[in-house]
């Protein structure tokens, strides 16, 4: 069947059209996305602004038309932390549904971690042993670990790159003391959950997913996306440690010139790098392998599994 997966993230709206059936990997057929920056459309009261709601609704209209044009039989729509944590989430979802007919499911942070873990497990297989999976999104950092398809640890922390950029980099890079405070906060938040991941023993395979990690790996020398998803890509802790102080001093224009960095995400690179560095340090990881599958693929796989069980 042909599915449309509408992913409303904290930074980007993304429709992925895939051909999917039981026993096969989902085959991407078309991709359509726009920067929404919903995390930056939260006002002082923690509500998505009128401009943010309008941008989301307009994108959903466009995505629905694209899905219809591409022959999708079904569209799975979901929203993550920016909508989930907004104080007017119900009003936002109602407005989108009434205007477009699209029902967006709001995923919990634990569901994000669980579904991303499922995608990574299916990509790497059982030979990977116990997995530790890390995903830096726009609004949150997801951490999951386990030896099965369902993780025994699934955590979501408010350490997304867009969230931190909005709070700490709104008026430009913080001074040295500000960076120190941010770094301390990131590491303290992550360290609270390190024990639950490491208590059963070190993971056999440590994996990172999604755009921020992919961009950082590319900056540090990983192969470009044009080489295809089957090429092994690794983010090395030593390479990242060398790059972080350089990134701190670069202008947005210079950041946009780096490989793997889009102009719409330059403001997120430094906070994302600080989170990635903290993850690798606290979990004592020399490297993270980049997985091309993440949350969207997890949702698709779970949907296929449900169809297969009911048939």
For 58-74, give one letter per residue: b (16+ CB within 10 A) or e: ebbeebbebbeeeebee
Architecture of the domain spanning 110-295: 2-Layer Sandwich (3.30)
Using DSSP's 3-state secondary structure scheme, residue 283 falls into coil
Q: Do domains 2-106 and 110-295 have the same CATH topology?
A: yes
Class of 2-106 in CATH: alpha beta
Query: Rg (Cα) of the chain, in Å, rounded?
Result: 19
pLDDT tens figures, 275-311: 999 999 999 999 999 999 999 999 999 999 988 787 6
Pairing, β 27-35 against β 12-19: antiparallel
Strands (E), 121-264: 131-136, 141-146, 153-157, 205-209, 234-236
Model pTM?
0.94
pLDDT tens figures, 57-68: 999 999 999 999
pLDDT tens figures, 252-285: 999 999 999 988 889 999 999 999 999 999 999 9
- What are the structural domain ranges in the chain? 2-106, 110-295
């Amino acid at each position: 069947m042909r599915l449309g997966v509408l992913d409303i993230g904290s930074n980007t709206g993304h429709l992925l059209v895939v051909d999917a059936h039981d026993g096969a990997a989902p085959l991407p057929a078309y991709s359509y996305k726009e920067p929404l920056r919903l995390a930056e459309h939260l006002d002082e009261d923690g509500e998505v602004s009128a401009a943010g709601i309008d941008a989301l609704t307009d994108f959903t209209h466009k995505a629905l038309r694209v899905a219809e044009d591409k022959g999708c039989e079904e569209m799975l729509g979901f929203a993550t932390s920016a909508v989930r944590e907004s104080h007017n989430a119900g009003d936002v979802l109602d407005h989108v549904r009434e205007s477009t007919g699209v029902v967006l499911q709001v995923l919990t942070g634990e569901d994000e971690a669980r579904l991303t873990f499922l995608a990574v497990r299916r990509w790497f297989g059982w030979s990977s042993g116990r997995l530790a999976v890390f995903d830096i999104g726009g609004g949150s950092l997801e951490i999951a670990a386990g030896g099965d398809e369902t993780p025994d640890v699934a955590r979501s922390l408010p350490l997304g790159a867009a969230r931190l950029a909005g709070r700490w980099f709104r008026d430009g890079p913080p001074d040295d003391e500000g960076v120190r405070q941010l770094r301390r906060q990131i590491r303290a938040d992550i360290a609270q959950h390190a024990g639950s991941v490491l208590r059963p023993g070190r993971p056999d395979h440590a994996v990172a997913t999604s755009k921020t990690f992919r961009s950082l790996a590319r900056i540090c020398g990983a192969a470009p996306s044009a080489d295809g998803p089957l090429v092994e890509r690794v983010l090395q802790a030593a390479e990242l440690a060398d790059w972080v102080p350089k990134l701190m001093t670069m202008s947005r224009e210079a950041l946009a010139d780096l490989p793997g960095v889009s102009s719409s995400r330059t403001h997120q690179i430094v906070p994302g790098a600080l989170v990635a560095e903290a993850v690798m340090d606290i979990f004592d990881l020399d490297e993270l392998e980049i997985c091309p599958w993440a949350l969207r693929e997890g949702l698709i796989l779970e949907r296929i599994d449900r169809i297969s069980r009911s048939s």
